[in-house]
Amino acid sequence: MNQIERLGDLPSLLADPQQQAKLTPQQAQAAQEFCRLGWPTTRDENWKYADLKALLKQGFQWDPSLVKLEDTQLEAAWLPLATAAIRLVFVNGVFAPEHSQQTAHAQVSYQVTTPAEHPLTAAYPAQVAQDKKANAQAAFCALNQALGKTQLQLKVQGCLDTPIYLVYLSTQASEQAYLSLSQLKVEVASGAQATLIEHHLSLGSPNNCSHRQAQIQLDAGAQLKHYYIQELANTDQHLSQLDVYQTRDSHFTSQHINLGGKWVRHDLDVVLAEPGAHVELDGLFFAAGRQFIDTHTRINHAAGHTYSQENYKGILNAKAQGVFNGRVLVQPQSQKIEAHQNNANLLLADGAQINTKPELEIYADDVKCSHGATTGRLNEEAVFALRSRGIDETQARGLLTLAFANEILDNIEILAIHQRIEEAIAGRLPAAYNLKGVL
C-alpha cells in the first residue's frame, strides 16, 4: 500500500487486518490508534478554524522509490550559511545522503533510521503533569508512526558553536502528490549547547502534504536555539508537531517563521518539567493570497520556578487566514513562575482574517502571568510622522511593516536567516508597501 485516492479514506484502509499484517507490531498498533482517533474535525476545539476537508479529498502516494531529486539548482535554494556543523537533506521526507554534508563532530552524533526500528515513545514521562488539551495532532503522529519511513536521531553532547542545518525539501515526485512523513528526535545532553535550523522549502510548486513530528529533550542545563523556517510553495500543505521536554535549568529558544504553504498547521508543546527551566518562543507568520496558517502553542509549567515568554506576530494580506492559539498552563503547586505572552497581528487587506486566542489556565497563586493580543492595521499617525520627514507613503508603510516584523527578526542571530526573511517579507508586500532600496 503506497497510495490512496482520497486521503480521507485512509482510516478505513488501515483498519483492514491484511494491511496491518504488513506492518511491524508497533506500527500496526499505531495504525489502530490512528483508526481509533480518526481525523480531527472543526467541532474539536483544537481544530476549530483548521478545516481538513479540502486536504482529505486529495489523493496521495508515499512510495520512497519514486523520490528523486533532479534539480541541480538545489544549492541556490538553501541558506548560504558560512559554516554548518552538519547539513542533512531530506527530500519528501526521505534522507538524501548525496546532498548532505556529513562531517564528523565530537559534539554531535546522528543516525537516520525508521519509525519501524525505533518507534517514538511518549515525549516525556507519564508522572510529569500532563496538559489535557495537548496532543492535538495525535492522529497525525500515529499515522506518521504507522506509515513513516524516516526518523532522524540527533544527540548533542558538548558545546557546538556551528549550527546543525536540516533541510526538508518538497518536490514533485510523480504525477500524484506526495505524502511525506518524517520524525525527528533531538537530545541535548546535560550542559550541552547547540543551534538547530530546520528549513522547509519547495522546489517548484508541488501540492504535497508533509507531516513532521519532532521531539526535543533538554537535559539539565542544556541550551538549544531552534530556528524553524517554513518557505514552502503556496501550493504545499504542511503539518508539524513539536514536543519539547525541558529539565532543570535548561534553556530553549525558538524562532518560528512561517511564510509559505497553502494550508499549514503547527503544534508546539513545551513542558517545563523541573525548576529553572526557561523557554522563549518567538514567531512570525506572513500569509497572503488564500494561505491558511494555524499555530497552536502550549506551554505547560509543570514545576515551580520556571519561566516562559512568548511573542508571536502575524501579517495577513489579501484573503489569507491566520490562527494563533497560545496556551499557558500553570499546574497546581507550580509556584513562583513567570509567564508572559504577546500576540500582535497586522491586517493589510479587508479580506484577511485572524482568529486569535491567548489562553491562560492557572492553578497556582504565586505567579506573574500576563498576556496581550492586538489586531489592527498600521497606525496612520506613524505613517504621517514618516511622511512629514520626506519619506513617501508607500515606503513609510513598507518601513513600518518591516519594523513590526523586526521585533521578532532582531532576535535572529544568524545573519543569513535574518536577511533571507527580511527579503522574503519585502518581496511579499503589496504594491502600496514599498521597501525598494531600503534593504
Partner 1 sequence: MASERMEQLVRTEYKQGFYTDIESDTLPPGLNEEVIRHISMKKQEPEWLLAWRLEAYRHWLTMQEPHHWAHLEYPRVDYQSISYYSAPKSKKDGPKSLDEVDPKLLETYEKLGIPLHERAALAGVAVDVVFDSVSVTTTFKEKLAEAGVIFCSISEAVREHPELVRQYLGTVVPREDNFFAALNSAVFTDGSFVYVPKGVTCPMELSTYFRINQANTGQFERTLIVCAEGAQVSYLEGCTAPQRDENQLHAAVVELVALDDANIKYSTVQNWYPGDEEGKGGIYNFVTKRGECRGDRAKISWTQVETGSAVTWKYPSCVLRGRDSVGEFYSVAVTNHHQQADTGTKMIHIGAGSRSTIISKGISAGRSQQTYRGLVKVLAGAQGARNFTQCDSLLIGDQCGAHTFPYQEIANSSAQVEHEATTSKIGEDQLFYCQQRGISEEDAVNMIVNGFCKDVFKELPMEFAVEAEALLNVSLEGAVG
All three cell numbers of 31, joined, read 495504525
Q: Which is nearer to partner 1, 364 or 416 (CB)?
A: 364
Spatial distance between the Cα atoms of 272 and 129, rounded to a whole number of angstroms: 10
Residue 295 contacts partner 1 per CB under 8 A:
no
Contact mark string toward partner 1, 78..117, x via CB under 8 A? ----------------------------------------
Q: Which is nearer to partner 1, 29 or 335 (CB)?
A: 335
Rounded to 10 deg, the angle between the 415-428 and 393-409 helix axes is 140
- From 61, 109, 353, 411, residue interacting with partner 1 (rule: CB under 8 A): 353
Residue 360 contacts partner 1 per CB under 8 A:
yes
Q: Which is nearer to partner 1, 94 or 320 (CB)?
A: 320
Spatial distance between the Cα atoms of 51 and 67, rounded to a whole number of angstroms: 29
Strand partners, 251: 223, 278
Contact mark string toward partner 1, 241..280, x via CB under 8 A? ----------------------------------------
Residue 392 phi, psi dihedral angles, 5° rounding: -70, 165
Q: How far is the CB of 353 from partner 1 (least distance, A)?
A: 4
Spatial distance between the Cα atoms of 417 and 421, rounded to a whole number of angstroms: 6
The enclosing H or E element of 409 equals: helix 393-409
Q: Which is nearer to partner 1, 174 or 370 (CB)?
A: 370
Rounded to 10 deg, the angle between the 380-387 and 393-409 helix axes is 120
Q: In a 10 Å sphere around its CB, with 0-12 CB exposed, 13-18 middle and 19+ buried, how is residue 380 labelled?
A: exposed
Distances from the Cα of 186 to the Cα of 64, 123, 278, 341, angstroms: 24, 11, 18, 26
Largest CA distance in the chain: 73
Residue 335 contacts partner 1 per CB under 8 A:
yes
- From 369, 383, 400, 424, residue interacting with partner 1 (rule: CB under 8 A): 369
Residue 41 contacts partner 1 per CB under 8 A:
no
Q: Which is nearer to partner 1, 229 or 396 (CB)?
A: 396
Residue 394 contacts partner 1 per CB under 8 A:
no
- From 114, 309, 355, 406, residue interacting with partner 1 (rule: CB under 8 A): 355
Residue 205 contacts partner 1 per CB under 8 A:
no
Residue 2 contacts partner 1 per CB under 8 A:
no
Strand partners, 86: 164
Residue that has been written with the C-alpha cell 472543526 in this structure: 42
Stretch of 260-268, 373-381, 397-405, 425-433 lying at the interface with partner 1 (CB under 8 A): 373-381
Residues contributing to the site for partner 1 (CB under 8 A): 45, 332-333, 335, 345, 347-377
